[in-house]
Structure 1
Amino acid sequence: MYDLAAEAPEDLWEVEALYDTCFAPGRTALSSYRLREGVPPVAGLSMVARDELGILAGAIRFWPVLVGGHQALLLGPVAVHPTRQGEGLGGLLIETSLAQAGPQGWDRVMLVGDAPYYCRYGFTRLEDVIMPPPTNPDRVLGRALSEAAWDGITGEVTRVC
């Protein structure tokens, strides 16, 4: 059993330590991090999951971006502590946060990730959405949170200033 809550400022360093544990040392060199620099995560959608002892087990963050000038959410990173993987916690974080995104006024969400994993949450390849290099275009995925939200949305993904 996990307690999911909005990420609070006091969670910052613990969440960063989790990401350091779960991802390669060069994670901050990825192009998606250039889109996040100097931009705070989306409040209320970025979440932490703690066990019954209050120990951080997982976290997910969302960031505002522009795709061809249209607002979108950039999902990521999502991480589950290695000792908690395989329990469905990553899926719980994804589904819970996405269920809250639409009512908060977001129409579309994108990420850079593995299609076989994220397709179970409704993500498909975004053909004409261009992430900054060196991103593999096959890993650029999106999900509409409202009817036809990705229809006609093309172009470069840029940082929100």
Structure 2
Amino acid sequence: MATVLDSVRAFFAQSAFAIDSENAGDVVARERLLDRAMGEGRFRKSSEKLRHGRVPAEGLALVARDRDGHMIGTVRLWNVEAGIDASGAPVPALLLGPLAVDPDHEGKGIGSALMRAALTEARNLGHGAVLLVGDAPYYERFGFFAEKACHLVMPGPFERHRFLALELKEGWLEGTAGVLVASGRRLGRPEFNKAA
């Protein structure tokens, strides 16, 4: 993770922000940023059903900070099972979201920088695929397409054309079908997390 973050920091050294790992002290700032950027409707999304009561995938919660250290962007990835493969085995994947940038800092490349850092780190950690629900014209530039997710469904209402996937390993989602299921570690006391 340090190598990825160092390279992103070097690339944006002249910019007004830096990409960093989320830390425990970021919780309040992250929630305020998400409320401001996405509103209360974010809690009704099908993606939230997969995130609720879980912690993000290890090493895959990133933030953008301005020069004063204030959080101005966030992205998190979550462990899920992306249906089953032809043999009936669950297929591990990641669900991306939410990706949000403080409205006062939009248009500065912060969202793109967060996406590139998150996808690079996910690839470096050995993950096979990333799924998300979002605007295809924005996410296609990162390699996300609806065709890769055509045999998968979200656990609740979703717009099919906005359900996108990126294979980090060629053919990872080939032959998979079914409903996404949360598989990440649960929030709460450590003794309850062992079985998750």
Structure-1-length-normalised TM-score: 0.96
Q: Deviations over 1:79-110 (max 9, x none)?
A: 01111101111000001110111111211000
Which residues of 2 match residues 69-108 of structure 1 at below 5 A?
A: 69-108=90-129
Letter in 2 for 1:50: R
Q: Percent identity?
A: 39
CA contact (8 A) 2:19 2:113 kept: no
1:49 is aligned to 64
Aligned mate of 1:35, from 47, 50, 55: 50
4+ residue runs over 4 A deviation: none
The Cα shift of 1:37 comes to 1.3
* DSSP-derived class of the 1:38 partner: coil
Query: Which protein is richer in helix relative to its size?
Result: 2
Q: Deviations over 1:3-30 (max 9, x none)?
A: 2111111111110110000012121111
* Partner Cα distance (1:57, 1:139) in 2: 25
Letter in 2 for 1:123: F
* DSSP-derived class of the 1:77 partner: coil
2:7 is aligned to none
Letter in 1 for 2:166: R
2:140 is aligned to 119
- Aligned pair 1:16/2:31, yes or no? yes
Letter in 1 for 2:110: L
2:12 is aligned to none
- Structure 2: any 5+ residue segments left out of the alignment? 1-14, 84-89, 184-195
Query: Which protein is richer in strand relative to its size?
Result: 1
2:9 is aligned to none
CA contact (8 A) 2:76 2:96 kept: yes
Letter in 2 for 1:132: P
Q: Deviations over 1:21-73 (max 9, x none)?
A: 00121211111111111110123211011011111110101111111121110
Structure-2-length-normalised TM-score: 0.79
* Partner Cα distance (1:155, 1:72) in 2: 13
* Partner Cα distance (1:28, 1:40) in 2: 16
Larger Rg over CA atoms: 2
User: How many residues of Structure 1 are paired with residues of Structure 2 in the alignment?
Assistant: 161
